[in-house]
C-alpha cells in the first residue's frame, strides 16, 4: 500500500468495539460512574482499608475530578567547546545554504 503525503492512513480512527446491545465500552463505563465514585469514596472513608488502598482511592478521585497534575520534564543540556564549535559550524552552513540574493528595494 502506498501512503499519500498529508493523508491519514486511518481517517476513521480506531474502530469502536460495540457490545451486543450496541453500546461501547465507554458508554458502559459512564453508566457506572456514580457507583464507581461512591465505591472510591467508601474506600477512602473506610477505617478497615489499608493506607495504600485509601491513597489509591484518593488519587483516583482527585485525578478524575481535577485532572492529573502536570509533570515537568527536566532536560539538562551540557555543552563543551567541541560541541559548541560543531553547532556553530552547522549554523554557518545552514545560513550559507539558505543565502539568497537581496531583492532590490522598492
CA dihedral 75, 80, 85, 90 (to 10 degrees): -20
37-94: pLDDT as tens digits? 999 999 999 999 999 999 999 999 999 898 888 887 877 777 688 888 888 899 888 8
Is residue 7 very low, low, confident or very high in pLDDT (cuts 50, 70, 90)? Answer: confident
Round to whole Å and give the CA distance between 44 and 26. 25
CB 61 within 8 A of CB 40: yes
Question: Does residue 105 carry a pLDDT above 70?
Answer: no
Round to whole Å and give the CA distance between 54 and 62. 12
* Residue spans per domain, the chain: 16-68
Amino acid at each position: 500500500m502506498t501512503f499519500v503525503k498529508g493523508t491519514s492512513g486511518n481517517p476513521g480512527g480506531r474502530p469502536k468495539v460495540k457490545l451486543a446491545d450496541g453500546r461501547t465500552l465507554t458508554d458502559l463505563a459512564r453508566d457506572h460512574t456514580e457507583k464507581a465514585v461512591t465505591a472510591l469514596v467508601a474506600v477512602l472513608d473506610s477505617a478497615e482499608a489499608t493506607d495504600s488502598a485509601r491513597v489509591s482511592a484518593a488519587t483516583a478521585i482527585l485525578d478524575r475530578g481535577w485532572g492529573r497534575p502536570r509533570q515537568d520534564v527536566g532536560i539538562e543540556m551540557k555543552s563543551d567547546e567541541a560541541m559548541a564549535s560543531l553547532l556553530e559550524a552547522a549554523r554557518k552552513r545552514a545560513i550559507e545554504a539558505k543565502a539568497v540574493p537581496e531583492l532590490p528595494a522598492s
